[in-house]
Structure 1
Amino acid sequence: MILVTGGTGLVGSFLLAELVRRGLPVRAIYRGEAAPVVAGAETVEWVPGDLRDGLGLRTALEGVTHVFHCAGLVSYAPQDEEELLRVNVEGTANIVDACLERPGIRLGYVSSVAALGGGAAAAQRELPSTEVLRIDEQSQWDLGAEHNAYATSKYLAELEVWRGVSEGLRAVVVNPSVVLGPADWHRSSTRLFRYAYNEHRFYTPSSLNLVDVRDVAEMLAQLTLDTDHSGERYVLNAGRWPLAEVLGLMAENFGKRPPTVAVPGWAAETIWRLEHVRSLLTGARPLITKDTARAGRRPLEYQADKVCRELGRQFRPLPETIRWCCQELAQGEIVRW
């Protein structure tokens, strides 16, 4: 029996479909009044639960041999700093503690490249515009650097997993970059597709590290179910691309006009400051924060050689991923808003 947290999220939903495709019995935790329906995962056993409910987690773990912890909060809004710690750190600690009480359970944890601390390292280094800082699994978290709240929460959550490993838990950690997939395009990375679909004119001269959600789900399943590795982390990243090229490919596949006006760095700095003031006065979440305004301007690329070598496979190319996502989004109701 497999237990999955975060089964309604982007990675979790595709992981559920992958596990069902393998013919495995799957149980998933959900929050809310009614059990959700996930395409390709109709045979999943849904159980109500909450990451902060230790007793409920222990009940959900009855008869379970493998746990995939995909649940987590992704936010760069200042209002969510405490919630990031509660969900990402305390929730992961509860999962680890519950697993430790059942010897033999194997854990696959979905972290983030943000937990590697590379963004802060790149920001502090004086790099030429053409030089790229390459980050891999050996990257060290710089305690003296300034990290955003989301990155800090994922780093601290990873520490909980490593604590579990030191106490006998068998676990692997994956660190995906920005995950692309067809989902609710009012949330997470799928908003990039909405931005291209709505034919916005502006883009920032930055770059993104991206990975296909199908690769994340499949590689996570392989590492957790098909290997005996433990205490290892794996960067999942298909490559680094200029934002203008990414948005251009999305617009092309939607049959839309691509953005053509580059926003200079000083303008982005002004906008996030104005948004910060607006959010303080109104209580609304800022449309752009300091972290999102500066994301991608740091010349860094996450290296995924380790997972490709150990699994003997490569990542899907970006054009194929974007074409698939646009087709899926265009066929669903999600595009009509």
Structure 2
Amino acid sequence: MILVTGGTGLVGAHLLLHLAESESTIRAIYRESKSIEKTKSLFQSYQKESLFPKIDWIQADIIDVPSLAIAFKNIDYVYHCAGLISYDPNDESKLRKVNIEGTANMVNFCIEYKIKKLCHVSSIAALGSLAPHENAIDEETEWNPEAPHSDYAISKYGAEIEVWRGQQEGLNVVIVNPGVIFGTGFLNQGSGLFFSAIKKGFPFYTKGTSAYVGVTDVVSIMMHLMKSDIVSERFIVVAENNSFKKIIFDIAENLEVKKPKFEAKPWVLSIAWRLDWILATIFRTKRTLSKYSAHSLLSSERISNQKIKNALNFEFQSIASVIKEVTSLQK
């Protein structure tokens, strides 16, 4: 049997949808019963609700060891998709708890229950930093502890260390590092908020770049890797490197709303993240723009997807077509 963590999130829910088409039974963990409805709605949107009963839902939490003991019974393969995404500096301890400690718990149970293979979903945030002589970040780019990193990036890097620790103890592992993931069904969280903000008339854009990928490509690659003989490897999973300006303009065009008019230049972002800190401190609200987030919006580093393309002879869906699919449900 296959166990999926994070089955009520974007990647996990789409993974369950694809697994249900080929597997007899799948187990997924959840923390709150109401969150399962989001995954069920995804199945319904693809007219696959008849497959939903294939999922054996068990209430558990990756940071709650006793609950995981029940979830791991009769499991052979594990997809670890669960994790906390936050760029609020106030969430540092929570990020470490969920992403590092939670992953350590998963690895420990995989070893104890002699799991055949673990697929861990990491992030491009956990990749290394470019040296002066390098042109693109790849799987071999070294992590520089002296470089500025968000707490989220540090927690995902720490989670990978736990997975490699499991590999050294005999566990078969594979890691995927997706870029910014676009997909249907979760428009009020994660990258879905990107679309919602633009639909409401977000006024700014930057000329920085990031790497993007469609969720269907992410889960397809994960499933191919798990069925393959490939172990002890990590793979960057991105379709394209694009500027924030192009992505935002493409989304606005597909949503048939006004494109942002103002470029957020470095000095604007410098003021913005400081103002965000002041307001969050005074009103005790969540940070929406940290110093690191502002810096990343101006980054022009490129990320290579050559390793996964060579390993699986994989061709990615264009981001333009992914955006078209996602926005078609928001008009």
In the superposition, the TM-score normalised over structure 1's length comes to 0.91
Q: Work out which of the residue numbers 91, 96, 105 in structure 2 matches 1:80.
A: 91
Q: More displaced, 80-89 or 226-235? A: 226-235
Matches of 2:196 and 2:58, distance apart in 1: 32
Residue in 1 that maps onto 2:47: none
Contact 1:32 1:48 in 2 (8 A): yes
Q: Work out which of the residue numbers 151, 162, 165 in structure 2 matches 1:163.
A: 165
| Structure 2: tracts of 5 or more residues without a match | 44-50
Q: More displaced, 228-237 or 17-26? A: 17-26
Q: After the TM superposition, which parts of structure 1 deviate over 4 Å for at least 4 consecutive aligned residues?
A: none
Contact 2:172 2:231 in 1 (8 A): yes
CA drift of 1:145 comes to 2.3
Mapping for residues 220-299 of structure 1, pairs under 5 Å:
220-224=222-226, 226-299=227-300
Q: More displaced, 287-296 or 157-166? A: 287-296
Q: Work out which of the residue numbers 93, 99, 123 in structure 1 matches 2:104.
A: 93
Matches of 1:261 and 1:28, distance apart in 2: 44
What residue identity is the alignment partner of 2:20? V
What residue identity is the alignment partner of 1:107? L
What residue identity is the alignment partner of 2:52? E
In the superposition, the TM-score normalised over structure 2's length comes to 0.92
Residue in 2 that maps onto 1:334: none
CA drift of 1:184 comes to 3.4
In structure 2, the CA distance between the partners of 1:149 and 1:35, relative to structure 1 (3 Å rule), is closer
1:70-108 Cα shifts (integer Å, max 9, x gaps): 000010101100000000000000000001012243100
1:313 to 2:324 alignment: no
Contact 1:133 1:299 in 2 (8 A): no
Matches of 2:329 and 2:318, distance apart in 1: 17
Matches of 1:189 and 1:35, distance apart in 2: 18
What residue identity is the alignment partner of 1:173? I
Residue in 2 that maps onto 1:194: 196
| Aligned length, in residue pairs | 320
Contact 1:35 1:46 in 2 (8 A): no
Residue in 2 that maps onto 1:112: 123
1:8-41 Cα shifts (integer Å, max 9, x gaps): 1111110110101123411000002457132325
1:47 to 2:58 alignment: yes
In structure 2, the CA distance between the partners of 1:261 and 1:254, relative to structure 1 (3 Å rule), is same
Matches of 1:305 and 1:288, distance apart in 2: 32
Matches of 1:104 and 1:206, distance apart in 2: 41
Residue in 2 that maps onto 1:335: none
SS in 1 for 2:191: helix
Residue in 1 that maps onto 2:211: 209
SS in 1 for 2:213: strand
Q: What's the Cα RMSD here? A: 1.7
Matches of 2:253 and 2:150, distance apart in 1: 33
Contact 2:9 2:186 in 1 (8 A): no
| Structure 1: tracts of 5 or more residues without a match | 331-337
What residue identity is the alignment partner of 1:42? F
What residue identity is the alignment partner of 1:136? D
CA drift of 1:282 comes to 1.6
